């Protein structure tokens, strides 16, 4: 689950491979190109400087990654069709920037898929222009947010405000956090397989909801959940029974936590974590967490950055609670295939925990959400995850559909 302190199979390459930056606006009102066709002339790009966390302009953010605009377009079209149930009958608004190559590529793909959408460049907005554009939309219309960082639009808390208006929302934030060689991984993570994602998510939720106990084994260590878990929540692209339609993409996650936080105890190795710059930090050697009564009491083989994370949590919340148990489904993201943005990487096919008291999905006695500040994702070395003695994850994949 993605929160403030920063959540599929891979698509193949079809058509012409391209490098550098896609010129925007060249598609206008053209129809979506069939997946097997080549992109038109003019989509070629020149590699140059890499995209940093704070790119100054599109000229400063050209990256040498190589992918196909057809692949990106196909992945976006699948999201629109299968997750958002988009049939083109409603209005659509795409609010984007041009501050990194990945944002430019996504914008070009959405222009292909939504040829009649209103497209606004965040860098060229006049005062009040975005608000007026939102006001013109009706419930059920679609808003796409393509952000190298995160937009600040007038007084809006953007996605929350748009959901309040019953608008569908697809959000791609913090794209500039992705390193140049991670862009292809991000594109692959957008590939949406509704059969795998939904069926695995539902089956995993059923196991979680009826489990009386669980355990996570990894690298010779064991983390024990000595009691039931909270009813699992799904982020699998099925919004049929949900109030809000959409969210941050890529998707693919089931999350829960222990009903009694005190039921969590043991040890686990952390191979990556969200650091103080909201990026994925990979220590040279996995850190060993020692957990007692649902609290981190020790971090062995730690690093200076991880110590800073723990110190910030203890400063603000007195102790380091362990809350979310995140079960990621996105097969394009693994221990080996990592992107820097923590909100994207938490969908990785594996298991993560959150450190800190903040987890608004579940209420806990003695925890007032108004005074919680931290939710830091840590990613575990996992050889096997068991619920009531039955293996549900191992060898890097979920096995809840077997048998």
pLDDT of 159 reads 86
Q: Can you tell me which residue has the tokens 């080549």? A: 38
Residues with Cβ within 8 Å of residue 182, at least 6 apart in sequence = 338, 339, 340
Q: Is 217 helix (H, G, I), strand (E, B) or coil?
A: strand
In this predicted structure, what is the pLDDT of residue 154? 67
Q: Strands (DSSP E) along 212-275, which ranges?
A: 214-218, 221-225, 233-235, 246-248, 253-256, 264-274
Q: Give the residue ranges of the chain where pLDDT is below 70.
A: 1-67, 154-156, 402-403
| Domain assignments of the chain as residue spans, ordered by start | 17-189, 194-398
Position 182 scores a pLDDT of: 95
Check residue 68 and give its pLDDT: 82
- Cut 0.95: pTM above it: no
pLDDT of residue 369: 87
* Residues 6 or more apart whose Cβ sits within 8 Å of residue 278: 5, 6, 174, 177, 341, 342
Of 274, 281, 287, 282, the C-alpha closest to 342 is: 274
DSSP class of residue 113?
Answer: H
For residues 237-251, one letter each, b for 16 or more C-beta atoms within 10 angstroms of the residue's C-beta and e for the rest, the string is bbbeeeeebbbbbbb
pLDDT of residue 109: 97
């Amino acid at each position: 689950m993605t929160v403030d302190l920063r959540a599929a199979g891979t698509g193949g390459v079809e058509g012409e491979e391209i490098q550098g930056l896609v010129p925007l606006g060249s598609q206008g009102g053209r129809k979506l190109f069939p997946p097997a066709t080549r992109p038109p002339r003019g989509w070629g790009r020149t590699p140059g400087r890499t995209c940093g966390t704070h790119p100054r302009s599109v000229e400063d953010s050209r990256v040498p990654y190589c992918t196909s605009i057809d692949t990106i377009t196909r992945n976006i079209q699948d999201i629109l069709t299968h997750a958002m149930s988009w049939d083109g009958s409603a209005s659509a608004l795409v609010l984007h920037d041009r501050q990194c190559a990945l944002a430019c590529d996504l914008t070009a793909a959405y222009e292909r898929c939504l040829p009649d959408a209103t497209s606004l460049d965040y860098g060229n907005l006049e005062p009040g222009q975005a608000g007026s554009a939102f006001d013109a939309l009706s419930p059920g219309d679609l808003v796409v947010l393509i952000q190298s960082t995160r937009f600040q639009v007038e007084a809006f808390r953007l996605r929350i405000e748009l959901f309040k208006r019953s608008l569908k929302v697809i959000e791609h934030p913090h794209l500039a956090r992705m390193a140049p060689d991670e862009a292809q991984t991000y594109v692959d993570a957008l590939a949406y397989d509704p059969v795998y994602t939904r069926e695995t998510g539902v089956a995993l939720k059923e196991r979680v909801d009826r489990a009386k106990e669980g355990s996570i084994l990894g690298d010779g260590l064991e983390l024990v959940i000595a009691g039931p878990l909270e009813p699992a929540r799904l982020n699998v692209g099925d919004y049929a029974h949900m109030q809000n339609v959409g969210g941050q993409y890529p998707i693919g996650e089931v999350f829960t936590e222990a009903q009694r936080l005190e039921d969590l105890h043991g040890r686990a190795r952390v191979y990556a974590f969200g650091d103080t710059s909201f990026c994925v930090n990979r220590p040279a050697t996995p850190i060993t967490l020692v957990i007692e009564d649902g609290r981190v009491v020790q971090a062995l083989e730690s690093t200076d950055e991880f110590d800073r994370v723990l110190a910030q949590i203890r400063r603000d919340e007195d102790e380091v609670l362990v809350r979310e148990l995140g079960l990621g489904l996105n097969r394009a993201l693994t221990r080996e295939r990592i992107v820097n943005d923590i909100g994207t990487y938490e969908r990785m096919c594996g298991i993560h925990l959150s450190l800190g008291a903040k987890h608004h999905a579940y209420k806990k006695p003695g925890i007032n959400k108004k005074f919680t500040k931290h939710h830091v994702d840590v990613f575990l070395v996992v050889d096997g995850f068991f619920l009531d003695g039955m293996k549900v994850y191992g060898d890097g994949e979920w096995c809840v559909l077997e048998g």
